[in-house]
């Protein structure tokens, strides 16, 4: 029998607010334990929650980006359970009427496009952290993370393989960073997934019993956990077993999932509307204001790059991997719309590799988009060759970087150099191509005269010898000749033989 | 509806309150009395009524996203049952 | 001095006839002397109180005094008070020194008032007799064999026995008004949302409201001027322009329309209470008010509705008491789950546990709609009853409690009987309306009777006017219970710490 895997994901995206969702404590990562747990986060007797506007705005942005409905009013509810990292004994979450309802995300797996429908996205607070290292056989509780705003994005069970689940998660990961609501840092837990996995015979339209795998904090683990879990369920069914709905954890070391110690009452969360929080009204004017501030979304931008610039789907995807590269590309290509493909090549090539070497990314690229555009213009107008351009690029990078602090990001205001730096470097070092054909013909003549052996070999039919001659001319021109022009002159001179001295 | 001894024990467990057999029996008697009072609610048809969770018809006020709190760990932990290295200690949590 | 109004005390302070240090010292001595009999205070801290009094004296000297500067006010032990033990009447918080101040405490501090001690209360404000306090029951100063009412029984007793000129209380189902009635003082529960709940240990969040307790309506008005202010830390705090609640005190009552709900004057009301309440209403007619019979047909539903909603919210609010970050942790346990169960079983008293069980049950899977949701719908019905009456009445009057104070131990084993005694006051919390109780005489065994005055939303100033005019005409609010020590030596027997 053929089996089909059915996957739905619950993604917890930590919203990049400065303060927590219901308190004024900082959300900064990595401070001393409990240093960022204020009275509200600690659930001292008598404290009360007040909702952070920034968190709501993050939810609205996501909702608009996935074409969902923004509910108004939206209601906060208490999810009651006891756990030492949950100070109030309940988590403030949303049950009925989440902020975001519906919507969808388009993914592309290989060449196939697919739409993953969303059920909802709701705001909630994160719990603290339990540290199980040995404290005399006890567990240590750090509540710095307690109260950090989370947006839980719940998909329909629309994915049919671990690969689709990974593409969906990556697409969502790009999107939340793109619209600036989440830093996407998976190591720090800013973006984590729970996968609901079930299996069914292919062709069946009935969903199997699902198991939920909690807290997958890398795409690789997501893929492996789903694959393992699906295999486990199929084996179990084949052996005549029955899948029990349960919560499981993935163990990356053993590459397997195992059932969490089941709490007998885990499912009875006793949800009810939080009486400390009033219904959240989101006026349409606010929604429109947020919509107006949203950037062009990755999907829209890819389409535009293919349509307006004629970029290949591959290049368009590369230029929309994230917001930083996209912004940089937009800035360069905006100045050089006819040469968008060349811009993309240089962004993927030289700039990426220089940035990589320095452990930086496009948001703090030292080169101005105008500088790159000028450099590419100089290639196209024949002032310099592509090869010389790389040298100019190197020198420009060094020079700009040496300017220190000011060079940190192309976005910072006060720039030490403008795009004229390109021409200054070319001029001051005489890197301009030899455009005077008389001068070039003289050089070619000299090379032919000095390389009799190569000339004979060429005439004997060895094509390689021609290349060697071109190389010699370029060397004599210190790289400043246009190779195409050299080719042409050389061919002409070898053909008429006029300058060969017997 | 009537409450059973098992209900009392289940609810005590949900609420994380230890309850002995005798206590549970006594609680059952008292809770049954209270629930017979509560059951009066069921006689009213409320299908046309909207639930009322707040007495005023007001909506949630929002706080600007700003950090207003400072580190008061020392003060807060001075009243904690057991702390070490800035962490609250509890018996080992087994997942 | 014992019967001086806050205004009179303020005048004495302003005229330098007495200093706040002396005034505070007097009330502290009296509290020390009487507390062994009444158990009204859980904590008294002379040093802290006198330090505040000293500071108040400096403010008075500098000419910057406000109306309550230098005046002692007792705080119900439900309000977190920085540096003070804040127990909420529970063993669970027996070791809780609050690291912060409740908004109410901050407001009185800012007004220059002196915190004279933390008053006893039913555990987590759950009770109508003050018998559920871990720190022992409060006695009714009119008769120490009677309960003072609850949950703000300590505050009511302390004001009645003149251990403090004024006190704060909280009212979830009558916890200010019922003890005020039973102890013969004045107390007001303002409109829900008028006083911030920040720092007030939560019982039932959608019903809890703090309010003033004092000898007279005029004193209540001065206190409410301090307490009622928008607070951004409480999402349910209402953003309103500050009011002067004393502004209408002197208005005549000519033309006032008083609604008398027929459901409030039925067989449940005892004869002695009915007599005193009717006499008070007759006095109002003399003052120019007219009375009309009105109906609040769903009054009888308020008790069952309340005993679903309040325990449900409480069961969740009290989940934070787990022995992890503060409060009581059982000395012996076997693992985490056992630590929770034992800490909570030992830290909470019987009534609190009972309500947690009710609340957990009504919220648990499969019962939510039948109980919680149904109760919320009926809550609207109850609120609509009041809205209808207020279309043609200014205030509603009736008895605060169907009987005078009952005997200690009389109802403590029968929770249903105890709950039913709150029927009149509970409906007001469900609707979120302001309500108050003022003393209008004495009933059986010479125990006080309270008149319940209910107003429409935000009509506190008018209600205070209504109460004040009565108090100008009568003297019930100036009656002081007699204690053998109150005439003789006021020296404390020993310097025991609380």
- Taking the C-alpha atoms of residue C8 and residue B81, their distance in angstroms, rounded to an integer, is 46
Half-sphere exposure of A211 (CA within 13 A, CB side): 27
* C76 is known as an active-site residue: yes
Which H or E run includes A428? Answer: helix A420-428
* B18 touches C at CB < 8 Å: yes
Instruction: Please indicate, yes or no, if residue C171 is contained in any of the structural domains.
Output: yes
Average pLDDT of chain A, as a whole number: 90
pLDDT at C491: 38
Point out the residue among B12, B40, B72 whose CB comes nearest to the CB of C357: B12
> CA–CA distance from A83 to each of A374, A401, C141 (Å)?
60, 51, 45
Question: Hey, what are C386's tokens?
Answer: 């009041």
Nearest CA in chain C to B10: C361
- Taking the C-alpha atoms of residue A134 and residue A77, their distance in angstroms, rounded to an integer, is 35
What CATH number does residue C437 fall under?
A: 3.90.1300.10
- Taking the C-alpha atoms of residue C85 and residue C80, their distance in angstroms, rounded to an integer, is 8
* pLDDT cut 70: percent of chain A above it: 96
Where residue A501 falls among pLDDT bands split at 50, 70, 90?
very low
Instruction: Please indicate, yes or no, if residue C387 is contained in any of the structural domains.
Output: yes
pLDDT at A434: 76
Question: Hey, what are A50's tokens?
Answer: 């007040």
* C267 is known as an active-site residue: no
| Region of residue A103 (left: phi > 0; alpha: psi -120 to 50; beta: else) | left
> CA–CA distance from A88 to each of A40, A263, C321, C323 (Å)?
9, 19, 8, 12
Which position has the higher pLDDT, A181 or B94?
A181
- Taking the C-alpha atoms of residue C44 and residue C300, their distance in angstroms, rounded to an integer, is 41
Interface probe for C, chosen from B28, B47, B52 (most Cβ of C below 10 Å), is B52
Interface probe for A, chosen from B62, B76, B77 (most Cβ of A below 10 Å), is B62
Question: Hey, what are C111's tokens?
Answer: 């007004």
Counted domains in chain C: 1
Instruction: Kindly name the residue from C43, C151, C216, C486 that is annotated as catalytic.
Output: C151
Q: In whole angstroms, what separates CA C43 from the centre of its chain?
A: 18
pLDDT at C498: 27
Instruction: Please indicate, yes or no, if residue C270 is contained in any of the structural domains.
Output: yes
- Taking the C-alpha atoms of residue C483 and residue C140, their distance in angstroms, rounded to an integer, is 11
* B66 touches C at CB < 8 Å: no
pLDDT at C227: 98
- Chain C segment 61-100 residues within 8 A of B by beta carbon are 95-97, 99
Point out the residue among C100, C199, C235 whose CB comes nearest to the CB of A50: C235
- Taking the C-alpha atoms of residue A359 and residue A363, their distance in angstroms, rounded to an integer, is 12
* B94 touches A at CB < 8 Å: yes
pLDDT at C417: 81
The answer to whether residues C430 and C318 touch, using CB atoms and an 8 Å cutoff, is: no
* C200 touches A at CB < 8 Å: yes
The answer to whether residues A42 and A14 touch, using CB atoms and an 8 Å cutoff, is: no
Map tokens 């619209």 to a residue: A179
Point out the residue among B14, B37, B55 whose CB comes nearest to the CB of C192: B55
Instruction: Please indicate, yes or no, if residue C368 is contained in any of the structural domains.
Output: no
Residue A117 pairs with which residues in a beta bridge? Answer: A104
Using the beta-carbon criterion (under 8 Å), do C300 and B40 form an inter-chain contact? yes
Q: Is the peptide bond before A319 cis (omega within 30 degrees of 0)?
A: no
- Note down the domain range covering C239: 6-299+380-478
The ipTM, to two decimals, is: 0.96
Residues 6+ apart with CB under 8 A from A76: A51, A92, A93, A94, A123, A273, A274, A277, A280, B60
Domains in chain A with CATH codes: 3-264 (no CATH), 295-429 (no CATH), 437-501 (1.10.10.410)
| Structure confidence by residue, pLDDT tens digits, A143-176 | 999 999 999 999 999 999 999 999 999 999 999 9
Using the beta-carbon criterion (under 8 Å), do C365 and A270 form an inter-chain contact? yes
Pairing state of beta strands A112-125 and A100-101? Answer: antiparallel
- For chain B, give every domain's residue range: 5-42
Sign of CA dihedral C6, C9, C13, C19: negative
Instruction: Please indicate, yes or no, if residue C365 is contained in any of the structural domains.
Output: no
Instruction: Please indicate, yes or no, if residue C182 is contained in any of the structural domains.
Output: yes
Map tokens 């990078």 to a residue: A397
Which residues in chain A have their CB less than 8 angstroms from residue C80's CB?
44-46
Q: How many CB pairs under 8 A join B and C?
A: 167
Instruction: Please indicate, yes or no, if residue C213 is contained in any of the structural domains.
Output: yes
3-state secondary structure of C42: strand
Segments in chain C below pLDDT 50: 487-498
Shortest distance between the Cα of C493 and any Cα of chain B, in A, equals 32
In chain A, what is the greatest distance between 2 CA atoms, to the nearest angstrom? 106
Using the beta-carbon criterion (under 8 Å), do C205 and A275 form an inter-chain contact? yes
Residue C416: CB atoms within 10 A of its CB come to: 14
Using the beta-carbon criterion (under 8 Å), do C319 and A89 form an inter-chain contact? yes
Q: What is the mean pLDDT of residues B60-75?
A: 97
Please tell me chain A's helix, strand, coil percentages from 3-state DSSP, rounded to the nearest 5: 40, 20, 40
Q: What is the mean pLDDT of residues A460-481?
A: 82
Strand ranges in C282-420 using DSSP code E only, listed in sequence order: 290-294, 395-399
Please tell me which chains touch C, using 3 or more CB pairs under 8 Å as the contact test: A, B
In the sheet with C186-189, reading across from the earlier edge strand, the strands are C41-43, C114-119, C72-76, C166-171, C209-214, C186-189, C435-442, C448-455, C395-399, C257-261, C290-294
Which residues in chain A have their CB less than 8 angstroms from residue C199's CB?
46-47
- Taking the C-alpha atoms of residue C20 and residue C16, their distance in angstroms, rounded to an integer, is 9
Shortest distance between the Cα of C430 and any Cα of chain A, in A, equals 13
3-state secondary structure of A124: strand
Using the beta-carbon criterion (under 8 Å), do C102 and A78 form an inter-chain contact? no
The answer to whether residues A473 and A490 touch, using CB atoms and an 8 Å cutoff, is: yes
Residues 6+ apart with CB under 8 A from C453: C395, C396, C397, C435, C436, C437, C438, C463, C466, C467
Point out the residue among C192, C377, C379 whose CB comes nearest to the CB of B56: C192
Shortest distance between the Cα of C204 and any Cα of chain B, in A, equals 12
Residue (of A173, A177, A267) closest to A222 by Cα position: A173
Return the CATH architecture of domain B5-42: Orthogonal Bundle (1.10)
Using the beta-carbon criterion (under 8 Å), do A39 and B10 form an inter-chain contact? no
Q: Which of A105-114, B68-77, C121-130, C390-399 has the lowest mean pLDDT?
A: A105-114
- Taking the C-alpha atoms of residue C223 and residue A312, their distance in angstroms, rounded to an integer, is 74
Where residue A405 falls among pLDDT bands split at 50, 70, 90?
low
Using the beta-carbon criterion (under 8 Å), do B14 and C364 form an inter-chain contact? yes
Using the beta-carbon criterion (under 8 Å), do B79 and C344 form an inter-chain contact? no
pLDDT at A262: 57
Question: Hey, what are B82's tokens?
Answer: 């057991």
* A43 touches C at CB < 8 Å: yes
Instruction: Please indicate, yes or no, if residue C336 is contained in any of the structural domains.
Output: no
* C413 is known as an active-site residue: no
Half-sphere exposure of C1 (CA within 13 A, CB side): 20
Where residue A229 falls among pLDDT bands split at 50, 70, 90?
very high
């Amino acid at each position: 029998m053929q089996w089909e895997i059915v996957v739905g994901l619950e993604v917890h995206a930590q919203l990049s607010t400065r303060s927590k969702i219901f308190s004024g404590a900082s959300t900064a990562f990595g401070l001393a334990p409990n240093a960022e747990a204020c009275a509200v986060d600690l659930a001292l007797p008598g404290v009360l929650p007040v909702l952070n506007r920034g968190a709501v705005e993050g939810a609205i942005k996501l909702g608009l980006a996935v074409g969902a409905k923004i509910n108004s009013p939206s209601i906060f509810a208490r999810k009651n359970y006891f756990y030492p990292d949950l100070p109030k004994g309940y988590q403030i979450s949303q049950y009925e009427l989440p902020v975001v309802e519906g919507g969808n995300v388009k993914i592309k797996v290989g060449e196939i496009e697919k739409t993953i429908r969303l059920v909802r996205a709701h705001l909630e607070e994160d719990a603290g952290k339990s540290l199980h290292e040995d404290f005399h056989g006890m567990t240590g509780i750090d509540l710095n993370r307690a109260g950090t705003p989370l947006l839980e994005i719940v998909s329909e069970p629309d994915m049919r393989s671990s690969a689709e689940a990974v593409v969906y998660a990556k697409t969502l990961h790009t999107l939340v960073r793109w619209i600036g609501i989440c830093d996407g840092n998976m190591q720090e837990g800013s973006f984590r997934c729970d996968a609901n996995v079930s299996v069914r015979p292919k062709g069946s339209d009935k969903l199997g019993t699902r198991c939920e795998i909690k807290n997958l904090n890398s795409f690789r683990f997501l893929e492996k956990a789903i694959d393992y879990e699906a295999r486990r369920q199929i084996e179990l069914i084949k052996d005549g077993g029955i899948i029990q709905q349960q919560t499981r954890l993935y163990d990356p070391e053993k590459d397997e999932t195992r059932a969490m110690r089941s709490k007998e009452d885990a499912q009875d969360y006793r949800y009810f509307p939080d009486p400390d929080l009033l219904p959240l009204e989101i006026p349409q004017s606010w929604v429109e204001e947020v919509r107006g501030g949203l950037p062009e979304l990755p999907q829209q931008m890819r389409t535009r790059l293919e349509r307006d610039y004629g970029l290949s789907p591959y290049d368009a995807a590369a230029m929309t991997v994230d917001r930083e590269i996209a912004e940089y590309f937009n800035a360069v290509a905006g100045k050089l719309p006819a040469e968008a493909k060349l811009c993309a090549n240089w962004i993927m090539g030289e700039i990426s590799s220089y940035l990589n070497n320095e452990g930086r990314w496009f948001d703090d690229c030292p080169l101005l988009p105008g500088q790159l555009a000028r450099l590419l213009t100089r290639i196209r107008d024949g002032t310099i060759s592509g090869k010389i351009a790389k040298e100019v690029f190197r020198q420009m990078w060094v020079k700009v970087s040496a300017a220190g602090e000011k060079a940190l990001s192309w976005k910072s205001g006060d720039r030490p150099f403008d795009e004229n730096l390109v021409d200054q470097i070319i001029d001051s070092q005489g890197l301009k191509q030899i455009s005077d054909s008389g001068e070039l013909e003289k050089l070619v003549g000299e090379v032919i005269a000095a390389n009799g052996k190569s000339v004979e070999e060429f005439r004997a039919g060895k094509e390689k010898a021609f290349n060697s001659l071109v190389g010699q001319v370029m060397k004599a021109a210190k790289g400043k000749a246009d190779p195409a022009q050299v080719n042409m002159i050389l061919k002409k001179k070898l053909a008429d033989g006029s300058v060969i001295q017997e | 509806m009537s409450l059973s001894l098992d209900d009392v024990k289940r609810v005590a467990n949900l609420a994380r309150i230890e309850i002995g057999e005798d206590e549970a029996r006594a609680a059952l008697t008292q809770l049954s009395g209270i629930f017979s009072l509560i059951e009066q609610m069921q006689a009213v048809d409320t299908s046309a009524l909207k639930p009322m969770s707040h007495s005023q018809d007001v909506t949630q006020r929002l706080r600007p996203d700003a950090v207003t709190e400072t580190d008061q760990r020392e003060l807060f932990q001075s009243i904690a049952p057991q702390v070490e290295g800035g962490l609250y200690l509890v018996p080992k949590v087994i997942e | 001095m014992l019967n001086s109004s806050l205004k009179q005390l303020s005048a004495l302070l302003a005229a330098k006839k007495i200093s706040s240090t002396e005034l505070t010292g007097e009330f502290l001595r009296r509290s020390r002397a009487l507390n062994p009999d009444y158990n009204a205070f859980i904590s008294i801290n002379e040093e802290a109180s006198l330090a505040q009094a000293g500071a108040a004296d400096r403010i008075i000297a500098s000419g910057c005094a406000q109306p309550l500067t230098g005046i002692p006010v007792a705080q119900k032990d439900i309000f977190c008070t920085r540096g003070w033990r804040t127990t909420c009447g529970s063993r669970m918080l027996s070791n809780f020194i609050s690291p912060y101040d409740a908004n109410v405490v901050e407001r009185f501090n800012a007004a220059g008032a002196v915190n004279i001690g933390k008053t006893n209360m039913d555990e987590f404000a759950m009770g109508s007799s003050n018998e559920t306090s871990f720190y022992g029951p409060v006695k009714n100063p009119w008769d120490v064999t009677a309960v003072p009412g609850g949950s703000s029984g300590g505050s009511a007793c302390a004001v009645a026995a003149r251990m403090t000129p004024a006190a704060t209380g909280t009212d979830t189902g009558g916890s200010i008004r019922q003890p005020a009635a039973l102890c013969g003082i004045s107390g007001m529960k303002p409109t829900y949302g008028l006083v911030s709940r920040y720092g007030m240990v939560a019982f039932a969040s959608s019903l809890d409201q703090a309010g003033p307790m004092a000898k007279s309506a005029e004193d209540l008005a001065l206190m409410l001027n301090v307490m009622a202010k928008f607070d951004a830390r409480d999402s349910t705090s209402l953003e309103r322009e500050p009011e002067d609640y004393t502004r209408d005190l002197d208005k005549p009552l000519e033309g006032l329309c008083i609604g008398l709900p027929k459901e409030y004057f039925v067989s449940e009301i005892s004869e002695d209470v009915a007599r005193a309440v009717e006499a008070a209403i007759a006095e109002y007619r003399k003052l120019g008010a007219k009375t009309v019979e009105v109906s609040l047909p769903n009054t009888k539903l308020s008790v069952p509705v309340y005993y679903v909603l309040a325990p449900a919210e409480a069961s969740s609010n009290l989940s934070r008491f787990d022995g992890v970050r503060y409060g009581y942790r059982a000395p012996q346990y076997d693992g985490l789950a056992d630590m929770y169960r034992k800490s909570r079983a030992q830290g909470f008293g019987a009534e609190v546990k009972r309500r947690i069980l009710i609340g957990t049950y009504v919220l648990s899977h499969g019962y939510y709609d039948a109980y919680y949701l149904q109760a919320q719908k009926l809550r609207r019905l109850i609120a609509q009853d009041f809205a209808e009456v207020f279309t043609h009445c200014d205030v509603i009057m009736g008895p605060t409690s169907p009987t005078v104070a009952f005997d200690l131990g009389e109802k403590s084993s029968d929770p249903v009987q105890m709950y039913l005694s709150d029927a009149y006051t509970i409906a007001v919390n469900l609707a979120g309306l302001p309500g108050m109780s003022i003393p209008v005489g004495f009933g059986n065994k010479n125990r006080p009777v309270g008149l319940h005055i209910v107003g429409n939303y935000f009509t506190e100033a008018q209600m205070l006017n209504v109460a004040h005019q009565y108090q100008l005409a009568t003297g019930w609010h100036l009656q002081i219970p007699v204690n053998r020590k109150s005439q003789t030596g006021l020296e404390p027997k020993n310097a025991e710490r609380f």
